[in-house]
Every structure is written in structure tokens, then in C-alpha cells.
Amino acid sequence: MNIMKNLITYILTTAFAATLMIGFTQTTHANDTLTTTQTHIKFFSTTPVEDIESNNFNATSTINTETGEVIFVVPMQSFEFEKSLMQRHFNQKKFLNTRDFPRARYVATITNLQEINFTTDGTYTAHVEGEMTIRGETNPLKEQASVIVSNGTVTVNSIFPITLAEYGIEFSKGKPSRNIAKTVEVTVIAEYQFEQ
């Protein structure tokens, strides 16, 4: 009788442990990926003639905390300007040509991943290397980002320059050549949560 009781107890205990291990494995795998809940991408151009600022709150992004892969996809028509005329110009063929190239994309890797703990509160510096694609043109982009971990939320901030000519956007004469800077400042603020 005791043998049977012990056998049943052993089977139930083993099954329970296995269930816990499966659940733990699935949770660990799912939590390898951070996804954005909020993004803000701003570009700023300054010349002696005028300053131009545009904001976009519709980008999507993921970070794989195991491999360090970072992906950003930015819908270009979601950039908003203070002046509607600027917005129309931005989307036109001679500017960003957002009809033919509706999205910009950044695919990169965090090269110092071992120095960042995405589950421990703190502020870390990430070194990121990858390729930026805008208007069908792809160029290498190597930058730094601040990674702030707080109560399960991961916020990434970065400011970097982009030279427009590298992406086929050049103005040699006329008003655009005077009003638009050759290099614009891009600010990225993205808030992530672990994928459930």
C-alpha cells in the first residue's frame, strides 16, 4: 500500500516539476524580445534661413535581448510638420518620395550586449552598428544609445546626424538648398516592454 502511495506521489511530483519546467522555458523564450509601446522620432534641420522640425510617433521596434538584434521600421508619411506646405514637400518625389518608399528601416546589433542587463534597473550605454535604409538607399550607421531600465520598462534614447545626400536627397539650387540643412539631427526615444 505504501509502495503504491509513494509511486503515485512520485508520478505527481515529477509531472508537476515537468510542467513548471515547460512553463519556465516558454516564459524565458518569450521574454527574449522587447517590443515598443511608445516611440518618438524627431528630425531637426537648422540653417541661417529657418529651423525645421518634424515628429513621428508611429515607428515600431524590437530588441532581442539574447542576440542584440535591433530593428526599427518607420512609416515615413507619419512625420508631422508645423506647416502643411513643408509636409507636402517632404512627401514629394524630389524629397523623400514616400509614395514609392513608404518606410525607413534600421537593422542593427548591439555590439556590447554583455554590458547591458535588461532586467536590472540602471542606465547603460549601448554601442549599436547596422544599416539604415531611407528612400531606397542603404548606408552603414554606427551610433551610441542610452538604455534606461526601470520597473520592467526599457527606454532607449539616441541622437545622431544623417547626411541627406547619402540617401539621394540633394538640392543644389533654389529655396530648398538654402532652407534645408545638408545634415539633419535625428532624435529617437523608444519605450519597450518584454513581449508576453
Tens of pLDDT, residues 148-172 = 999 999 999 999 999 999 999 987 7
Return the pLDDT at 8: 47
Q: What is the DSSP string of 157-172?
A: EEEEEEEGGGGT----
Strand partners, 44: 53, 185
pLDDT less than 50: residues of the chain? 4-29
Tens of pLDDT, residues 96-117 = 999 999 999 999 999 999 999 9
Distance CA 101, CA 78 (A): 13
Return the pLDDT at 16: 45
Under DSSP, the state recorded for 114 is G
Strand partners, 78: none
